[in-house]
Amino acid sequence: MSEKTYKIIELVGSSATSWEDAAQAAVNTAAKTLRDLRIAEITQMDMKIENGKVAAYRARVKLSFKYET
Amino acid sequence: MSEKTYKIIELVGSSATSWEDAAQAAVNTAAKTLRDLRIAEITQMDMKIENGKVAAYRARVKLSFKYET
Amino acid sequence: MSEKTYKIIELVGSSATSWEDAAQAAVNTAAKTLRDLRIAEITQMDMKIENGKVAAYRARVKLSFKYET
Amino acid sequence: MSEKTYKIIELVGSSATSWEDAAQAAVNTAAKTLRDLRIAEITQMDMKIENGKVAAYRARVKLSFKYET
Amino acid sequence: MSEKTYKIIELVGSSATSWEDAAQAAVNTAAKTLRDLRIAEITQMDMKIENGKVAAYRARVKLSFKYET
Amino acid sequence: MSEKTYKIIELVGSSATSWEDAAQAAVNTAAKTLRDLRIAEITQMDMKIENGKVAAYRARVKLSFKYET
Amino acid sequence: MSEKTYKIIELVGSSATSWEDAAQAAVNTAAKTLRDLRIAEITQMDMKIENGKVAAYRARVKLSFKYET
Amino acid sequence: MSEKTYKIIELVGSSATSWEDAAQAAVNTAAKTLRDLRIAEITQMDMKIENGKVAAYRARVKLSFKYET
Amino acid sequence: MSEKTYKIIELVGSSATSWEDAAQAAVNTAAKTLRDLRIAEITQMDMKIENGKVAAYRARVKLSFKYET
Amino acid sequence: MSEKTYKIIELVGSSATSWEDAAQAAVNTAAKTLRDLRIAEITQMDMKIENGKVAAYRARVKLSFKYET
Amino acid sequence: MSEKTYKIIELVGSSATSWEDAAQAAVNTAAKTLRDLRIAEITQMDMKIENGKVAAYRARVKLSFKYET
Amino acid sequence: MSEKTYKIIELVGSSATSWEDAAQAAVNTAAKTLRDLRIAEITQMDMKIENGKVAAYRARVKLSFKYET
């Protein structure tokens, strides 16, 4: 049958270095338990600031994967 | 007590025929494990194209259901 | 390692009294099973009406918490 | 005089079959009392679910028509 | 026939006390003449300020009800 | 009592000259039957084109006024 | 080299029957001259009304394809 | 001369009790130094959570006031 | 056959005088090579400032026209 | 060093004549104290109505300028 | 004459390394055939995932350039 | 007293290297005069192009800090 269903979850990755690493951290965590990850859209980006310096880059990502019940 | 909590999940249904079937596929999958599904909002619609033809209609849906911990 | 991942879920709290109580109901339900809840953003507010009167205030909230796989 | 005014109303049509029928139901109802309907934009689509099945497709439409005072 | 049509109107309720009372004021006014009110979504919230103090809380609400021609 | 309710309607004004005139046309039409018009927000602007020339400027406006039942 | 570029164009398809056919009309037209069409997102849906009846379903689609200079 | 200019600033008020008090805190702070505050729009609402409980309601507000150079 | 396809392009018109002239400049340029222009929606408006004065009004417009392959 | 910082402020200009004059009023006021104004984006347009007539056109503008500490 | 027209196109750049490289890939491709590129706005960012790893960073960009007919 | 107020300002940072550096430039500039910076949200990203090459990455950031009158 041609009908399929995917689920979308939203994660926030965090890194001291860049938004690429922050987003990758979210993907890595998800990949430990989810199969068939396909696309990860960035929905929001921000920075945590401590003592006037950027302490962390954070990327919010929406990840889709095959939904199995 | 009058306070209740619902959870919202986001699924993507896919069908070769129509967005109605795509959305219904997402609802059917969810209904296998979730009770008390009430409303399913469409948040995005797209099409997958292969060889210049529409291969699949896809509907992204937000589903709310009773949240039990 | 400085990389961390949080998960975001979306809940709808409901209360006969106020949106504060509705949002708190959602937080209370989540707190039963999730650790490290930090921020809860309001994404939507509505009211259920019965017999021309407000029967329930409802608040949709996005909650972030530590993601452990 | 070249100045004209149109009014915009928002209706929700509902159908057991498809969003096309749901939207058409809204147009049909409006056409009973309003003249000069021109464009109907879809602003939202959702589904009502009962017993784990799609009970109704609903389309929210904005309709513009000649405003006569 | 399974096809139904609802109308959506937008009101602004105002109260010196809270947004809950402001929204309820809008619902109360609508309920005097409209049957079958179901859902009231909040689309905007603001405050009127006089002499540096909050003089009124205002809530803009979209109300849906059965449309009869 | 400090609680008041306003209604919001959406009109489209049209003019061959400018968006100011288009918006004013909408206000003028509304003012014939509605009392206590206060604010008119522009929600959309477009142009109708005929034979490669601008035939009309159109402004969509949301108007609020005292709601009396 | 791993760097690639795609172009996105926006078309409006129109059909007397359904939004699926309207969207497909846009895809068919594009497929005559463009290679490697992949995804077509729906960005807007409306209906043209004539004599109080739906004369056309229209779907606005964003199409991405391989960009070759 | 009929031309006037207002400035808009964005503040976040915080309160342990309600969003009304949070918004009012922002207005009170602004009123200490700014004259002619008129309207305060709510642009975002969230909650700070500590130990699984709501520790603070926060309201982001846009405030307009007479701009004098 | 009742199926038709339109293309949408986005232009920015610029004028020293007004947004109406800026938008018209974009329409005039498009009309030199495109047939069957119908609607031009304004999607953004800004001003270029030089030496503390408005040097140009700019209007971003989306134009739809018959798509022929 | 190639890194620079600009600040963005939001003003509301008002004029009895047109949105162009309203926006220009905001720019003029800003130009009295700020150097290096570059771009002014329109973020909102509305009209104040008195006795059923447009009393003022208002344009909300975001202005960017060189930030010096 | 002070009136000018720019065109806006939307491209998707892709890179295995970073969103900066992805965006630059889109600019480079455009620069081969278009003169007077000025500004490139990022409208969307996502990642393609293969075997649980980020295979490509993708940036959607809107590019404006002088429109010559 | 548990009520606190934060102020939000919007800056644009610019860098020849990356959006991370652009955003950091904005934070650095702000940190010279403002205490208690906490979060910096990215609200827009673009690139300045010169001679067909990316001359600068620019990030628009909203910064919140303790408001003291």
Fold held by J6-64: Dodecin subunit-like (3.30.1660)
L55 vs K: CB within 8 A: no
Task: Write out the two tokens for D34.
Answer: 């309003």
**Which residues in chain A touch residue B13, judged by CB atoms under 8 angstroms apart?**
3-5
pLDDT in tens, G2-39: 578 999 999 999 999 999 999 999 999 999 999 889 99
Fold held by H11-61: Dodecin subunit-like (3.30.1660)
CA distance F62 to F44: 10
pLDDT in tens, D10-21: 999 999 999 999
Instruction: Kindly report the backbone phi and psi dihedral angles of residue H5, in degrees, each rounded to the nearest multiple of 5, phi listed first.
Output: -130, 135
* Closest to J48 in 3D by CA, of D9, H4, A57, K17: H4
| Residues I49-55: contacts with CB under 8 Å, at least 24 apart | I49/J27, I49/J31, I49/J37, I49/J38, I49/J39, I49/J40, I49/J63, I52/J27, I52/J28, I52/J31, I52/J37, I53/J27, I53/J31, I54/J20, I54/J23, I54/J24, I54/J27, I54/J40, I55/I16
pLDDT number for residue H2: 57
Q: How many C-beta atoms surround the C-beta of residue J48 within 10 A?
A: 16
What are the boundaries of each domain within chain F? 6-66
pLDDT number for residue I49: 97
pLDDT number for residue E69: 66
Closest partner CB to J46 (pick from F28, F31, F42): F42
* Closest to I52 in 3D by CA, of J4, J65, K2: J65
Closest partner CB to H67 (pick from J11, J21, J60): J11
pLDDT number for residue K1: 46
DSSP B30: H
Q: What is the CATH number of domain E16-66?
A: 3.30.1660
Level-2 CATH architecture, domain L6-61: 2-Layer Sandwich (3.30)
Angle at F13 between CA F8 and CA F16, to 5 degrees: 165
* Closest to B47 in 3D by CA, of D57, K58, G61, A8: G61
**Which residues in chain L touch residue H10, judged by CB atoms under 8 angstroms apart?**
7-9, 62
State how far residue D60 is from chain G, nearest Cα, in angstroms. Answer: 11
Closest partner CB to L57 (pick from K20, K31, K38): K20
pLDDT number for residue C2: 58
Report CA-CA distances (Å) from F39 to C22, E27, I8, J64: 32, 22, 33, 28
The CATH superfamily label for domain G6-10+18-64 reads Flavin-binding protein dodecin (3.30.1660.10)
What ipTM describes this predicted complex?
Answer: 0.94
pLDDT number for residue A68: 74
CA distance F15 to L35: 52
Fold held by K9-66: Dodecin subunit-like (3.30.1660)
pLDDT in tens, F40-50: 999 999 999 99
Q: How many C-beta atoms surround the C-beta of residue K45 within 10 A?
A: 23
- Name every residue whose Cβ is closer than 8 Å to that of residue J1 and which is 6 or more positions away in sequence: none
DSSP K35: S
* Closest to A38 in 3D by CA, of A19, A21, A59, A63: A63
State how far residue L21 is from chain J, nearest Cα, in angstroms. Answer: 8
State how far residue I63 is from chain J, nearest Cα, in angstroms. Answer: 20
CB contact (8 A) between residue J40 and residue I53: no
Q: How many C-beta atoms surround the C-beta of residue H5 within 10 A?
A: 20
* Touching partners of J (3+ C-beta pairs < 8 Å): F, H, I, L
Fold held by F6-66: Dodecin subunit-like (3.30.1660)
State how far residue E3 is from chain F, nearest Cα, in angstroms. Answer: 26
- Name every residue whose Cβ is closer than 8 Å to that of residue J51 and which is 6 or more positions away in sequence: none
Q: How many C-beta atoms surround the C-beta of residue J69 within 10 A?
A: 11
The SS3 call for residue D22 is: helix
pLDDT in tens, K25-68: 999 999 999 989 999 999 999 999 999 999 999 999 999 999 87
CA distance H43 to H66: 20
The model carries a pTM of: 0.94
Q: Answer left, alpha or beta for residue H8, where phi above 0 means left and psi between -120 and 50 means alpha.
A: beta
